[in-house]
Chains A and B, each alone.
Chain A
Amino acid sequence: MSHISGVQSAQSPLALRASGSRALLIAAVLLAVSLVLPWWHMTMYAPQYPAGLSASAGVFSIHGDVTEINELNHYIGFMPLEHVAPIERRAGIVLGPLIVLLALAAAFLGGPWRLLATPAVVLPVFTVADLAGWLWYAGNHLDPHAALSTSVAPWTPHMLGPGGVGQFHTFAMFDPGFALAVAAAVLVVSALRRRHRPAVGQR
Chain B
Amino acid sequence: MQGSENGDGKPNATISRSAFMGGLGTAGALLATGCNTPQATTAAASRNSAAAVVSGDARKIAQARGLMPADVAAALKTYVPSGKTDDYYMFASGGHSGQVLVIGVPSMRLLKVIPVFTPESYGGWGYSSGSRDVLKAGAVDGTVITHGDTHHPTFSETGGDYDGRFFFINDKVNARVAVIDLRDFECKQIVKNPLTLSNHGVCVTPNSEYVVESSHYGMPVGWKTSDVTKEAYRKRFRGSQTYWKFDAAKGRIDPERSFAVELPPYWQDILDAGKLGSNGWTFTNSIDTELAVPEDWHGGPAMEVGASQHDMDFLHLLNWKLAERLVQSGGVSKVNGLAYIPLEQAVKEGVLYLVPEPKSPHGVDVTPDGKYVVVSGKLDPHVSIYGFTKIQQAIAKGHLRRDSYGVPIVAFEDALVAQVKVGLGPLHTQFGGDGHAYTSLFLDSAVARWTLGDDSGKGWNLLETLPVQYNVGHLAAPHGDTVHPRGGYVVALNKWSLDRFLPVGPFYPRNLQLIDNTGEKMQVLYDMPIGMAEPHYAQIIDTKLLKPIDVYPKNTDVFTMAADPKAPVFGKEGTFDRGDHIVVEMSMMRSEFRPDVVRVKRGSRVVWRLNNVETAKNAIHGFALSKYNISLSLEPGKVEAIEFVADEPGVYPYYCTDFCSALHLEMMGYLVVA
Report which A residues bind B (CB closer than 8 A). 65, 67-68, 71, 75, 147-148
* Interface check B666, CB cutoff 8 A: yes
Q: Shortest beta-carbon distance, B242 to chain A, in Å?
A: 47
With A and B bound together, what is the CA distance between A146 and B589 in angstroms? 15
Residues of B within 8 A of A75 (CB): 661-663
Q: Is B614 an interface residue (CB 8 A)?
A: yes
B residues apposed to A, CB below 8 Å: 589-591, 614-616, 619, 661-663, 666
Which secondary structure dominates chain B's binding surface? loop
Q: How far is the CA of A147 from the CA of B667 in the complex (A)?
A: 12
| 13 examples of A-B residue contacts, CB within 8 angstroms | A65-B616, A67-B614, A67-B615, A68-B614, A68-B615, A71-B590, A71-B614, A71-B616, A75-B661, A75-B662, A75-B663, A147-B591, A148-B662
In the complex, A65→B614 CA distance in Å? Answer: 11
Residues of the A chain whose Cβ atoms lie less than 8 Å from the Cβ of B616: 65, 67-68, 71
Q: In the complex, are the beta carbons of A147 and B666 less than 8 A apart?
A: yes
CA distance A148 to B590 in the complex (A): 13
Q: Which residue of A lies closest to B614 (CB)?
A: A71
Give Cα distance in the complex from A121 to B101, angstroms. Answer: 63
Q: What B residues does A65 contact at CB under 8 A?
A: 616
Instruction: For A151, give the chain B residue with the smallest CB separation.
Output: B662
Q: Could you tell me the distance between the alpha carbons of A147 and B666 in the complex, rounded to whole angstroms? A: 10
Complex Cα distance, B661 from A68, in Å, reads 13
Q: Give the distance in Å from the alpha carbon of A148 to the alpha carbon of B661 in the complex.
A: 12
- Is there contact, CB below 8 Å, between B663 and A147? yes
* Distance between Cα atoms of A147 and B614 in the complex (Å): 19
- Shortest Cβ distance from B639 into chain A, in angstroms? 17
Nearest 8 Cβ contacts at the A-B interface: A68-B616, A67-B615, A147-B663, A71-B590, A68-B615, A71-B589, A75-B663, A71-B616
Q: Which residues of A contact B662 (CB under 8 A)?
A: 75, 148
Bound-state CA distance A57–B311 (Å) is 79
Complex CA–CA separation, A110 to B616 (angstroms): 53
CB-defined contacts of B591 to chain A, threshold 8 Å? 147
- Give Cα A65–Cα B619 distance, bound, in whole angstroms: 14
Kindly state the separation between the CA atoms of A147 and B663 in the bound complex, as whole angstroms: 8
A71-B614, A71-B616 known, 16 other contacts, Cβ within 8 Å: A65-B616, A67-B614, A67-B616, A68-B614, A68-B615, A68-B616, A71-B589, A71-B590, A71-B619, A75-B661, A75-B662, A75-B663, A147-B591, A147-B663, A147-B666, A148-B662
User: How many residue pairs at the A-B interface have CB separations less than 8 Å?
Assistant: 19
Q: Which residue, A65, A67, A148, has most C-beta atoms of chain B within 10 A?
A: A67
Residues of chain B contacted by A68 (CB below 8 angstroms): 614-616
Bound-state CA distance A183–B405 (Å) is 90
Q: How far is the CA of A125 from the CA of B615 in the complex (A)?
A: 35
A86 to B598, CA, bound (A): 34
Measured between beta carbons, the chain B residues less than 8 angstroms from A71 are 589-590, 614, 616, 619
Using Cβ atoms and an 8 Å threshold, which residues of chain B touch A148? 662
Cα of A148 to Cα of B615 in the assembled complex, Å:
22
**In the complex, A75 Cα to B591 Cα: how many Å?**
9
**Chain A residue with the shortest CB-CB distance to B554:** A67
Of B616, B662, B663, most A-chain CB atoms within 10 Å:
B616
Residues of A within 8 A of B615 (CB): 67-68
Q: Which of A65, A71, A75, A147 is most buried by chain B, counting CB atoms within 10 A of its CB?
A: A71
Once bound together, how far apart are the Cα atoms of A126 and B619, in whole Å?
38
Residues of A within 8 A of B666 (CB): 147
What CA separation (Å) do A187 and B379 show in the bound complex? 91
Distance in angstroms from B638 CB to nearest chain A CB is 15
Closest to A53 in B: B616
* Cα separation A67 to B587 with both chains bound (whole Å): 14
Chain B residue contacts of A67, Cβ below 8 A: 614-616
Contact partners of B619 in chain A: CB under 8 A: 71
Give every chain B residue within 8 A of A147 (Cβ-Cβ). Answer: 591, 663, 666
The closest CB in chain B to the CB of A68 belongs to B616
CB A104 to nearest CB in B, in angstroms, measures 40
Please give me the residue from chain A that is nearest to B589 by CB atom. A71
Docked Cα-Cα span, A65 to B589, in Å, equals 15
* Closest residue on chain B to residue A66 by CB atoms: B615
B663 neighbours in A (Cβ, 8 Å):
75, 147
CB distance from B61 to the nearest CB of A (A): 28
Chain B min CB distance to A75 (Å): 7
A187 to B616 Cα, complex, angstroms: 43
Q: Once the chains are docked, how many angstroms separate the CA of A145 from the CA of B591? A: 15
Tell me how far the C-beta of B556 lies from the nearest C-beta in chain A, rounded to whole angstroms.
Answer: 16
Give the residues in chain A near B589, CB-CB below 8 Å. Answer: 71
The residue in chain A whose Cβ has the minimal distance to the Cβ of B618 is: A48
In whole angstroms, what is the CA distance A63 to B254 when docked? Answer: 43
Bound CA–CA A68/B590 (angstroms): 10
Question: A28 → chain B, closest Cβ, in Å?
Answer: 38
- State in angstroms the CA–CA spacing of A75 and B589 once bound together: 12
Please measure, in the bound complex, the distance between the C-alpha atom of A129 and the C-alpha atom of B666, giving whole angstroms.
40
Q: Cα distance A65–B663 when bound, in Å?
A: 21
- B567: shortest Cβ distance to chain A, in Å? 16
CB distance from A53 to the nearest CB of B (A): 8
Task: Provide the residues of chain A in CB contact with B614, threshold 8 Å.
Answer: 67-68, 71
Nearest CB of chain A from residue B636's CB, rounded to whole Å: 10
Interfacial chain A residues near B661, Cβ < 8 Å: 75
User: How many angstroms between the C-alpha atoms of A82 and B81 in the bound complex?
Assistant: 41
Residue of B nearest to A49 (CB): B616
Bound complex: CA A75 to CA B667 (Å): 13
CB closest chain-A residue, reference B590 = A71
A118→B147 CA distance, assembly (Å):
76
Q: Shortest beta-carbon distance, B663 to chain A, in Å?
A: 6
Shortest CB-to-CB span from B674 to chain A, Å, is 30
Shortest CB-to-CB span from A72 to chain B, Å, is: 8
Question: How many whole Å from A17's CB to the nearest CB in chain B?
Answer: 53
Minimum C-beta distance from B553 to chain A (A): 13
CA distance A75 to B592 in the complex (A): 11
Could you tell me the distance between the alpha carbons of A62 and B663 in the complex, rounded to whole angstroms? 28
Give A68 to B619 CA distance when docked, in angstroms. 10
> A147–B664 Cα gap in the complex (Å)?
12
In the bound assembly, the distance between CA atoms of A68 and B551 in angstroms comes to 13
CB closest residue in chain A, given B83: A50
> How far is A176 from B302 in the complex, measured between Cα atoms in Å?
82
Q: Which residue of A lies closest to B663 (CB)?
A: A147
A47 → B minimal CB distance (Å): 13
Q: How far is the CB of B519 from chain A (nearest CB, A)?
A: 37
CA distance A75 to B295 in the complex (A): 71
A65 to B590 alpha-carbon distance, docked (Å): 15
